[in-house]
A and B are shown apart, each in its own frame.
Chain A
């Protein structure tokens, strides 16, 4: 998030898209409702009628996968009605004229035809957002988990730039992170291409993936299989004028050298595999040994069957977790870890705030905090690790990542209720709002993206054979794969089984009754599920959560990934539904 959570309360307008805060980030949901009560205008852009729609001024119920058209349409209205923040656009951005050209054709009528949203609602939404004193954009996986996820974000960012909403209070671009420390995992360098603080490991910090860099010429053979869709010329990347990779060879070399020196080891510059590549479709491209700490990819990954196969196929799998989860069944060794309540450390939340956690009780049985296990292993590999506490580790992070964390001592974090990065010095107050006054890269770049319809042969393409779009979501009373929530009886009482949401009109057309089971089949796989009849989903669209092991929705979702962020496009899968 460019802005703090508390900032949402005073926003003049809020655009929520691809996010269902009241169920998945309830406390942020409270803030949004609070903002509405005190006068904020709320625009919800979502294919589903999420609970926030009840308090929204406008609901833009677009067809899944047409995000770019919608956002470009909003930009079109803003530019046409001259509602953009002219001073801001003039002084702080570049590329406005290209944006203007690109969105020219996205008239409300044109966009309406693509998205199914009434033209007048597009106009109203654009005005509400642009005319507010401040406009916050709140989004989540509904925007990013698409094959064009990055482009969706680009189109959304354009709106924020146009209206001068980046770098001021009660505004900004606010992605909501799904898990307590997903931000921290990224910030700490648990990504193939960067060390902590996004310091590049190697020169290609663009979209390069392990597989593509190594075997560029062999990608094309995969077309149609659809595991990883290639960036064929003219299709996606080349039409984007976004963050052109800067040559960072010398930079990354220096950084690698820094870490190498500090850690006392040689470091490789071979790009690492992403999660999707670790479980590659072709066995010979997979990893052979997996060390899985606190993850459950068997349930969470798209085309989960493939993950299961890949795990079975691997030479050796280590799972380190607090429960014997579904993935652990495929492990050769399982290491018992301590839970969050049993150790010291820090988490980083969605607003970049580093916060302390404390040991409340001692680890269960012989379980140990993950850091202790890791240190034990490191020593067995002959590495000279000597951390006596998480604080030792944190101090190393601070030193090696000074531009982000240097100012954040445990003492300060404790006393000041957490700090938001960047906090590069001990007397630095942290950074609640990013891009204030100036962008990190100097000037805000409008980038242009075009809407591309889903081809009929791709997973999201609706055809006669696969007439429904299946989208995925999470629910209030469960969390992820239920490893944690499933252990609380009350939560299981409130939500104990998966039911696919389906519109009453579709129910009628398919001649279903509320008790019926249905078979849902995509181009990837098939499952059986109960149904929940609700007008939260419009006709033609069905929705499932991935909380339950059975039915496991990810056996049928699309593992095709976004070319740039490598996030999977699980939000759109064409399916067919049959009564059993």
Chain B
């Protein structure tokens, strides 16, 4: 029965790559863009949302200017990642998955950055890795830019 279904690889297979491109451009998936993807891929909007919301990569709200990703890999966990997350949450006054009201920071966790030797570690804006962290070091990382942001506002 499953073999009989007529599937068209050309259109539907582009769904996730298209969503990735959109997120690349907007930082999240705006609703109108998802509707467009549905039309282009020949699926319904609910399917697009169903797929998008299934994958950790996609977001539905605008993202902060600085994206903080806390590694939740095993090595990081046993070296104290939960404390690191808590400290950042306290420093930024947001919870995991949220964005600060001034759109300065978005705090996320990530399955594994892959720097297990540097555990526990975080990555900011997909490039700056801070490793072998302690709560104290975290406070220092967020102290400076936060103050700048406050000054600016």
Contacts and interface: CB of A to CB of B under 8 A. Distances in A.
Q: Say if the two chains contact directly (CB < 8 Å).
A: yes
A38 B6 CA distance: 7
B42 interface: yes
Contacts of A55: 42
B127 interface: no
A344 interface: no
A38 B2 CA distance: 10
B4 A39 contact: yes
A428 interface: no
Contacts of B6: 39
A38 B4 contact: yes
Contacts of A37: 5
Contacts of B44: 54
A38 B4 CA distance: 7
Nearest to A535: B39
Nearest to A57: B8
Interface in B95-122: none
Nearest to A56: B42
For this complex, into which size category does the number of interface residues on chain B fall?
Answer: under 10
A296 B44 CA distance: 38
A57 to B, nearest CB: 9
Contacts of A54: 42, 44
B6 to A, nearest CB: 5
Interface string A17-60: 00000000000000000000111000000000000001100000
A38 B44 CA distance: 18
A39 B8 CA distance: 11
Interface string B1-30: 000111000000000000000000000000
A37 B6 CA distance: 7
A39 B44 CA distance: 18
Nearest to A40: B6
Nearest to B39: A54
Interface in B25-80: 42, 44
A38 B5 CA distance: 6
Contacts of B42: 54-55
Contacts of A39: 4-6
Contacts of B5: 37-39
Q: Which residue, of B4, B5, B6, B44, has the highest number of chain A Cβ atoms within 10 A? A: B6
A304 to B, nearest CB: 37
B16 to A, nearest CB: 20
A55 B44 CA distance: 10
A48 to B, nearest CB: 16
Interface pairs A-B: 9 shortest CB-CB: A39-B6, A39-B4, A38-B4, A54-B42, A37-B5, A55-B42, A54-B44, A39-B5, A38-B5
9 contacts: A37-B5, A38-B4, A38-B5, A39-B4, A39-B5, A39-B6, A54-B42, A54-B44, A55-B42
Interface of B: 4-6, 42, 44
Given A38-B4, A39-B6, A55-B42, 6 more contacts: A37-B5, A38-B5, A39-B4, A39-B5, A54-B42, A54-B44
